[in-house]
Amino acid sequence: METSEREALSAKRRIVIKIGSSSLTHAETGDLNLLKIERLVRIISDLKGSGREVVLVSSGAIAAGRRALHHQGKPDSLAQKQAFAAVGQARLMMVYQRLFAEYNQVAAQVLLTKDTMVGDASRYNAQNTFDELLKLGTVPIVNENDTVSTSEIPMVDNFGDNDRLSAVVAALIGADLLILLSDIDGLYSDDPRTNPQARFIDTVREITPELLEMGKETSGSGVGTGGMAAKLAAARIATDSGSDMVIANAEHVEIISRILEGEKCGTLFVAHPNHDFDLMDYLTSEYG
C-alpha cells in the first residue's frame, strides 16, 4: 500500500513547501545560505514548469535581520524580534525575487497574522488573493508578519511557528500536498539526537494520541521555533483538510523532487479528509 501512496505524490498539482530558518542559514554564522536558497528556487521553478502550483512558506526574516544588525543569538525582547523581522523580511524577499527572476518566475510576498485568518472577511480575502496569485502564475512566498504579531504568547496571539502556518495555508488554498523541510529526516519514536535507539516511522495513516506523545516541543537549532510537536499539529490540520504531508530533511533540497517522483524519503502522513473539519472552527479553538 505504501508504494502506491508514495507513487500518488507524483500527481499532486497544488503544493505548499515550508522551509525553516535553520535550513536557510549557515550554522556557523547565521548568514543566509545563498547556494541552498538558489537550489530551492531552481527546484520550485522547475515544478512550476511542469505545470504545478507552488506556495513557499519561508522562515528566515528574523535570522536575516539579526545578522544584518550584527546581533548574536536570538532576540532579547519582542520589540527586538519585530525590528529584526522588519529589516530581515525585506532582505529575504530581495534575495527570493532576484533568484526567481533568473528563472523567469515572479515571487509575491504574503504576510499573515492570526487576526487575518480568524476574521471571516480577512480570511476570505486572503484566500482570494492566493487564488489570484496562483492564477497569475506567481510563486507566493508566505511568512508570519512578525513585525506586528505579538508572539510573546505562543499559540494565542500568533501561529507560533511556520509549521502550523503552512498547514493552515494548505487548508486555506485546498493544496493536495504539504512538504515540511526540516533539520530532521522525519518522524521518530523519540529524538534521534539524544536516543540512538529511536525508531524511524516511514508512514503515518492515523494521528493517534500515542503518536502525539512522540512530539517534542523543543527545536534543535538556535534559529528555529518549531519542534516535532508543531509538525504533528501541522499534520493534523493538513491531513484532516485533505492534504498529504511529508516531513523531510532539508540538508539537500533536491529531496523535493525525489518526494514528487514517489521515492521513499521522509515521513508520509496520508490524507484522511475529515468531513467535519472546518478551518474556521480550528482557528477559533486554537487561536480565538
Q: How far apart are the first and last CA of the chain?
A: 39
Residue with cell 512558506: 57
Cell of 108: 509575491
Of all residues in the chain, what percent carry a pLDDT higher than 90? 55
Please, what are the domains in the chain? 2-287 (3.40.1160.10)
| Distances 12 to 21, 50, 143, 254 between C-alpha atoms, Å | 26, 11, 23, 17
pLDDT of residue 226: 45
pLDDT tens column, 51-80: 999 999 998 888 889 888 988 877 888 888
pLDDT tens column, 92-130: 999 999 999 999 999 999 999 888 888 888 889 999 999
Block means of pLDDT (10 residues each) for the chain, 288 residues, are 84 96 88 95 97 95 88 82 90 96 97 84 93 98 78 44 91 96 88 84 90 61 58 92 96 96 95 77 64
Q: What are phi and psi of 262, to 5 degrees?
A: 90, 10
Helix pair angle (78-102, 34-49), 10° resolution: 50
pLDDT of residue 197: 87
- Counting Cα atoms < 13 Å in the Cβ hemisphere of 99 gives 21
| Distances 130 to 46, 118, 247, 272 between C-alpha atoms, Å | 20, 16, 24, 24
